[in-house]
Structure 1
Amino acid sequence: MLETLRPDPSFYPSPKLAMEAEAEHLSYTALLSPDRSRPDALAVVDVDPASKTYGSVLHRLDMPHAGDEFHHFGWNACSSALSPLSAHAELRRRYLIIPGIRSSRIYIVDTHPDPAAPKLVKTIEPEEVMRKTGYSRPHTVHCGPEGVYLSTLGGAGESGTEGPPGIFILDCQSFEILGRWEIDRGPQKLHYDFWWNLPRDYMVSSEWGLPPQFENGIVPEDLLGNKYGHALHFWDLRDRRHVQTIDLGANHQMALEIRPAHDPVREYGFVGVVIDTTNLEASIWTWYRENGKFHARKTATIPPEPADADKLPPLLKGFGAVPPLISDIDLSLDDRYLYVACWGTGELRQYDVSDPMKPLLAGSVRVGGIAHNTPHPCGKAFDGGPQMTEISRDGKRVYFTNSLYSTWDTQFYPNGVRGAQAMCKVNPDGGITLDPDFYVDFGPDYAAHQIRLQGGDCSTDSFCYPSA
């Protein structure tokens, strides 16, 4: 009996201890059918450099329905289960929760007993999601001490515009939907990402747009009219109530990925802003808490790059430049390096954020990109640009894929975005290098989005205890 109650060995009290873990052997990558002609899938990729099948797809789990549009997904449990508030000592990091952002369907995938051949064990239909929550278009998945949190991008109704989107909770063992998380949402009307500081008892959330603003592609009129999200929201985590809003300014369109410091004694984090409509630049903002109040400051900017009109898609021809289009950011477990994916220009940047108020550019690689079309070092073409990033727990490897969202892919990359996965090696003193031997081609029928690493990664786990 005592043996069954031992914590999962992939759970760690602190970020520093997690960094000492065994390296990942597998990655799980969400694949989607851009034209929705076939079901989406989950690919299992060999990421062990000592393996004969390094960089190849070991298994592909096809789903039973078409049209889901896989985007973000996550584990049923992580290091947050070590929280004193958790009643789940027996939990295992075993199941992947994969939402369909277009269908509102949710799949539960079991990675045991064979992690290289996961199996679908449960499907939650969209009608149940809507009936129990009033939300649609589930997006980000985070495992918390008391269950699985899922953010949504849509409210009720077919268009997802009948009421605001929000967060709901899933039981982490039965996978029953428990209901809405918010008790007092305050002025929050849009949603995208969220994350938290568990011991400090607060949550931070961000904004993208409502389904009509993204499902059929970016709406230029809404973008130029500054109608996408541009605010951060702060919440009391236990009381489930909104406590503060910080508007970054209407020109700072699409405040997306939230990355708090992993060490819970550090009360700050980062958010990436896709585009400034006044000058096409992208930006990184540092948010922090001081004397009980939250603040946010723009701490890094990335300018657009001039380009000939004949190299630009119709959407950008009139601007004569390529915006960086920050589509993802990720923070290493030691809180030292922030990785910034510039999907438009085809650049992955590494910033040293030892001083979170003064990010310093420490490294950069280029692959893909709207104007440059830079090939991968292996010599193969790389469609799109660096997009969803995932960092190994030890901070030595950064994996990334190349698709943003199916309808946006074709607007910015009219020739299509063939699914691919690449990896950078991280130099100990800063700097990154693309691994020429790691290039995963998922074929012409799939685009590739988020990556999860076996045993956990830098955008999965929440830690409850400080690093010594």
Structure 2
Amino acid sequence: MTTTEHDRDGHLDPTLYRTPADAVAAPPESLAYVAGFDPAGERPDALFTVVTDPQSPAYGRVAARVELPDRGNELHHFGWNACSSALAHPGHHHAARRYLIVPGLRSSRLHVLDTVPDPAHPRLVKVVEAGELAARAGYSRPHTLHCGPDGVFLSCLGGADGADGPGGVALLDHETFDVLRAWETERGPQRLAYDVWWHLRQNIAVTSEWGSPSMIEDGLVPELLLDRRYGHAVHFWDLESGRHLQRVDLGDENQMVLELRPSHDPEATWGFVNTVVDVEDLSASVWLWTRENGEFTVRKVITLPAEPARAEDLPPALRPFGAVPPLITDIDLSVDDRWLYVSAWGTGDLLQYDVSDPLRPRRTAAVRLGGIAGRQTHPAEPDVPLSGGSQMVELSRDGRRVYVTNSLYAAWDEQFYPEGIDPWMVKLDADTSGGGLGVDGGFFPHGSDFGGLRVHQTRLEGGDASSDSYCYRR
């Protein structure tokens, strides 16, 4: 692995931003990277490069794909080796947003791809096998990663060799990507894992809960859901030491606590997290955490109710209920901390909220794409109902472009969309003054564009709203 031109010249990578305002003002992304996977595990998964520059003749098209050399990975979440937080923590000798670290949620392998010298055509440069993750950190089923103090933080759902836990966070070397160790030193009551994020300047880490490998890998287990066995708590930690500080239970009716979106303001100690389903009424919700007198509290600020539906429009698992649960599976907070996007995979809705007052979100726009019962269409093909629904959502640094894909996790896809999921990626234009969303009819890679692989998370060239933390306010 070699250094970038910026490293050799002694200059910082310009995509490492001192402040949120610097990130917003930076040039827009011209490329998006999208993880694709074969749900059957028979073909190689791939990382796709999609052109997002509207001046390019290839706008909205897949420019390249990097196939992995192995099978059965199920690419899910992935991230950069370095982000803006590298400006204020040790460990990077040549900090540059250059390598994409791509975990396989089912295989527990990590694939490292180099975006230099040609960002449109990344190259696979390293594979970290599941055995290394198990032997050195005691974990499996890697899920989410962020560049942070002491190394790259990698949340993992399972214990060594796929055991049911406890799940937690592994540390990777910033530059070699070797697995170093488990991050936690005092775990306390934490057992289930999902996401990890932090308030860097306050030395606070936050983790959330989904389920252990046996709870997720073959699909949603109804008995576990009704027994309220999936995750329903948020955990707060000492970031430097890995010591557990506080567990906040959201109520065991609120099952599956997933995406953590802390404020981008480095002086703030609040953020949003979502729950997938309330087992009492099938609603879904978004919660706000805040710190008061040294203690964290978490309160519900958004509720999406279930929608009545005809039994014939529902998959077998939902027919007894006669309703479509919203199933909030992703959220994203704009870099200026004003706009929150909520993705309801069950109904297909992508919702925009003004969160200028985080305690009182105000809905400003909604667009429905696909959905279990509605099967809404895209302007590019108005006669073809979309399969799947709005799922993973990524937001540009300036907040003006929203990218959405439609697959959750293979086994769960089959339960809620048994007719199958044809892959698609949608771009929406956002009004960042008063609110509003519109689908870009000229941007619609789908189906054979992705070689039939389903698509999950998107990362943007130069960074995006969900992968950066900032060190300075101004």
Q: 1:389 aligns with which of 393, 403, 406?
A: 393
Map 1:46-57; keep pairs closer than 5 Å: 46-57=51-62
* Aligned AA (1:302): L
Deviation at 1:3, TM superposition (A): 5.3
2:93 is the alignment partner of 1:95: no
**Secondary structure in structure 1 of the residue aligned to 2:86:** helix
Map 1:227-266; keep pairs closer than 5 Å: 227-266=229-268
**Secondary structure in structure 1 of the residue aligned to 2:22:** helix
CA distance in 2, matches of 1:169, 1:178: 5
8 Å CA contact 2:7–2:94 kept in 1: the answer is no
8 Å CA contact 1:111–1:118 kept in 2: the answer is yes
Deviation at 1:208, TM superposition (A): 0.2
Q: Bigger shift: 204-213 or 138-147? A: 138-147
* Aligned AA (2:129): E
2:359 is the alignment partner of 1:360: no
Q: 1:371 aligns with which of 345, 370, 373?
A: 373
CA distance in 2, matches of 1:117, 1:310: 45
Q: Match of 1:197?
A: 199
CA distance in 2, matches of 1:2, 1:319: 58
CA distance in 2, matches of 1:275, 1:5: 50
Q: 1:433 aligns with which of 425, 432, 438?
A: 438
Deviation at 1:87, TM superposition (A): 4.2
Question: What are the Cα deviations for residues 254-306 of structure 1, in whole angstroms up to 9, with x where unaligned?
Answer: 01000000011221000010000000000010001111100000011000110
CA distance in 2, matches of 1:89, 1:18: 22
2:140 is the alignment partner of 1:136: yes
* Aligned AA (1:429): G
CA distance in 1, matches of 2:385, 2:41: 24
Q: Match of 1:459?
A: 466
Deviation at 1:66, TM superposition (A): 0.9
Distance change (3 Å), C-alpha of 1:132 and 1:98: same
Deviation at 1:7, TM superposition (A): 1.6
Q: Match of 1:408?
A: 412
Map 1:70-219; keep pairs closer than 5 Å: 70-83=75-88, 85-88=89-92, 90-158=94-162, 160-161=163-164, 163-219=165-221
Deviation at 1:2, TM superposition (A): 8.3
Deviation at 1:378, TM superposition (A): 1.2
* Aligned AA (2:286): I
Question: How many percent identity over aligned positions?
Answer: 53
CA distance in 2, matches of 1:43, 1:87: 30
CA distance in 1, matches of 2:42, 2:358: 44
**Uncovered stretches (5+) of structure 1, i.e. residues with no partner:** none
CA distance in 2, matches of 1:14, 1:453: 18
CA distance in 1, matches of 2:168, 2:24: 32
CA distance in 1, matches of 2:267, 2:390: 31
8 Å CA contact 1:442–1:448 kept in 2: the answer is no
**Secondary structure in structure 1 of the residue aligned to 2:197:** strand
Deviation at 1:15, TM superposition (A): 0.6
Question: What are the Cα deviations for residues 99-130 of structure 1, in whole angstroms up to 9, with x where unaligned?
Answer: 00000011000011000111100001111111
Q: 1:17 aligns with which of 22, 46, 50?
A: 22
Question: What are the Cα deviations for residues 231-263 of structure 1, in whole angstroms up to 9, with x where unaligned?
Answer: 000001012100000000000000100000001
CA distance in 2, matches of 1:34, 1:3: 42
CA distance in 1, matches of 2:280, 2:9: 57
Q: Match of 1:224?
A: 226
8 Å CA contact 2:159–2:166 kept in 1: the answer is yes
TM-score normalised by length of structure 1: 0.97
**Secondary structure in structure 2 of the residue aligned to 1:185:** coil
Map 1:223-372; keep pairs closer than 5 Å: 223-372=225-374
Q: 2:424 aligns with which of 411, 414, 420?
A: 420
Question: What are the Cα deviations for residues 196-216 of structure 1, in whole angstroms up to 9, with x where unaligned?
Answer: 011111011100001111101
8 Å CA contact 2:92–2:174 kept in 1: the answer is no
Question: What are the Cα deviations for residues 139-193 of structure 1, in whole angstroms up to 9, with x where unaligned?
Answer: 00101143211000001244x22x4011011112111111110111111000000
Question: What are the Cα deviations for residues 19-61 of structure 1, in whole angstroms up to 9, with x where unaligned?
Answer: 0000000000000001111011000000111110100000010
8 Å CA contact 2:135–2:160 kept in 1: the answer is no
* Aligned AA (1:52): P
Deviation at 1:6, TM superposition (A): 2.2
Deviation at 1:418, TM superposition (A): 1.4
**Uncovered stretches (5+) of structure 2, i.e. residues with no partner:** 1-5
8 Å CA contact 1:299–1:359 kept in 2: the answer is yes
8 Å CA contact 2:228–2:255 kept in 1: the answer is yes
8 Å CA contact 2:236–2:246 kept in 1: the answer is yes
TM-score normalised by length of structure 2: 0.96
**Secondary structure in structure 2 of the residue aligned to 1:6:** coil
* Aligned AA (2:413): D
8 Å CA contact 2:254–2:277 kept in 1: the answer is yes
* Aligned AA (1:199): R
**Secondary structure in structure 2 of the residue aligned to 1:404:** coil
**Secondary structure in structure 2 of the residue aligned to 1:439:** coil
**Secondary structure in structure 2 of the residue aligned to 1:318:** helix
8 Å CA contact 1:424–1:435 kept in 2: the answer is yes
8 Å CA contact 1:4–1:90 kept in 2: the answer is no
CA distance in 2, matches of 1:77, 1:185: 26
CA distance in 1, matches of 2:447, 2:76: 16
